[in-house]
Structure 1
Amino acid sequence: MKKIVTTIFVLAMALVIPNSAFAALEKQGVDGWYVDDSTTTGVRSFEGGTVKACFSGLAYTYKVQLMENDDVNPDDTIGGTKTATNGNCVSWTDVDTEAGNEELYLKITKDSTKSDYIEITWYD
C-alpha cells in the first residue's frame, strides 16, 4: 500500500511542478580572453531562459554585464552587473528578449590594467 501511495504522490508532483524545474543547463562551450581593465567578449548564441557563465583564471575581482547584440539596438543590457571571482559562476534569468536565439556577449571590467588570461564556461 505504501508503494502505491508513494507512486501516486510522485506522479502527482510531476504534474504540478513545471518541467523547467527539472531542466538542467547544458554546457555551451568555453572561451578564453585576455583582459586588461576592460574587455568585450565575442557574441554567442543562446536559446534564452537562464544563461550562466563560470570563470577561471581570474586574478582579480571582475564586474560582468550581460549584453544583447541585435540589429535594432546593439548594446541592450540584460539584468544587472554581476561580480565574478575565480572559480565562481554568475547567472542571468529570464533572458528572452525576442523570438529565436539570443545573441549575447559580456562586458568585463576590473580595477587593474595588468593583463591576464581568463576562461569563461557558458551554460544555457
Structure 2
Amino acid sequence: MGAGEWDYLGHSVFHNQSIVFKSGGGNFKACISTGSAGGRYSLMEQDPVNPDDEVNTEYIPPGGCHTWNVASYVDGTNGKAELYLAICNWCKDRDYQTRADFWD
C-alpha cells in the first residue's frame, strides 16, 4: 500500500514475545485477538548490539489495538525498525497464548 494506508505485516502467536516485524517508520499498530487475554504489552525495538529499546508499554484489551509512532527507532543499514511485542515482565512464563496482528 502507499503512504497513509495500513500494510498488514502478519500475526504472531506467543507466550512471552512475538516474532520480529520490520517497519519503515511512522505508525506501527498491534491488535490483540478477541480470544486472547488483555494485558500490559511493551513494544520493543530489537538491537543486536545494544539492549533492546522499549518504545512504550500500554494496556491492550482483547479485541483492542494500539498504535505507536516508531520513526525515531528506524536504524541500521536496512533503514528499518525491528519491532516485537512483549508481555509485561511480571506476566512472563504464563500458561496461555496471545495472538496479535501487526500493521505498518
Normalising by the residue count of structure 2, what TM-score does the alignment of the two structures yield?
Answer: 0.78
Partner Cα separation in structure 1 for residue 94 and residue 49 of structure 2: 35
**Does the CA-based 8 Å contact 2:70-2:81 persist in structure 1?**
no
Q: Compare relative contact order (CA 8 Å, sep 6+) and give the higher one, 1 or 2.
A: 2
Of Structure 1 and Structure 2, the greater helix share is in: 1
| Larger radius of gyration between Structure 1 and Structure 2 | 1
Return 5+ residue gaps in structure 1 as ranges. Answer: 1-19
Q: Percent identity?
A: 31
Q: Distance in 2 between matches of 1:86 and 1:98?
A: 29
2:21 aligned residue? 44
Counterpart secondary structure, 2:36: coil
Over aligned residue pairs, what C-alpha RMSD do you find?
A: 2.4
The secondary structure found in structure 2 opposite 1:41 is: coil
- What is the deviation of 1:42? 2.1
Give the drift of 1:98: 3.3
Contact persistence 2:32–2:99 (CA under 8 A): yes
**Which residue is 1:73 aligned to?**
50
The alignment covers a number of residue pairs equal to 98
